[in-house]
Amino acid sequence: MTSMETDQCSQLKESYRFFRYLNKEETAVVTEYLHCRFLSAGQVLWNEGDPSEKAAFVVDGRVEIKKETEFSGKHVIVGIYGQGSIVGELCLLSGEPRAVTATALTDTSLLMLSREQFDRLLEEHPDLGAKLLKGMFLALSTRLRKSFERLASIF
């Protein structure tokens, strides 16, 4: 990573709103377990069926999540997520292969959390790991509630 990318990564970590429930010292500890990734529009973050090694916090840009259908070459867009969203958290927790494909719709900045780093965070800082899990579950429950509402509106 170049020094410019390192500086951008540090700024991303400092400004990311997902950690708003952590104080400054806690945020500094958690961000040591994250690394930055920058995607160009159209670049695939992961494909359906890939190993599930990481979750991604969207700092800037938009990520499209799509699921293959039973019809060859056809897919359904499951969601489009922007700043403040997390993607891939289910696989991070379950360890199952990716259920969806994630693609950057625009140039996108991400903070990545690997399963290995997540486990290390839980072991070394269980209180902070629990706060991070709480944030992930809150994001997931909000997404699930919105999905229920969309499904109910169809019928």
In the chain, the amino acid numbered 26 is E
Average per-residue pLDDT for the chain: 86
In the three-class reduction of DSSP (H, G, I as helix; E, B as strand; rest coil), residue 155 is classed as coil
pLDDT tens digits for range 50-97: 998 899 999 889 999 999 988 988 989 988 999 888 999 887 778 889
State which H helix or E strand residue 50 sits in. none
Taking the whole predicted model, whether its pTM rises above 0.75 is answered as yes
Overall residue count recorded for the chain in this entry: 155
Mean pLDDT of 34-52: 95
- Burial of 91 (C-beta count, 10 Å sphere; 0-12/13-18/19+): buried
Instruction: Judge whether 50 lies within some domain.
Output: yes
Instruction: Judge whether 150 lies within some domain.
Output: no
The domain containing residue 94 runs over which residues?
3-144
Q: Which residue has the higher pLDDT, 124 or 136?
A: 124
In the chain, the amino acid numbered 53 is E
Number of structural domains the chain divides into: 1
**Residue 102's domain is classified under what CATH number?**
2.60.120.10
What pLDDT was estimated at residue 3?
A: 55
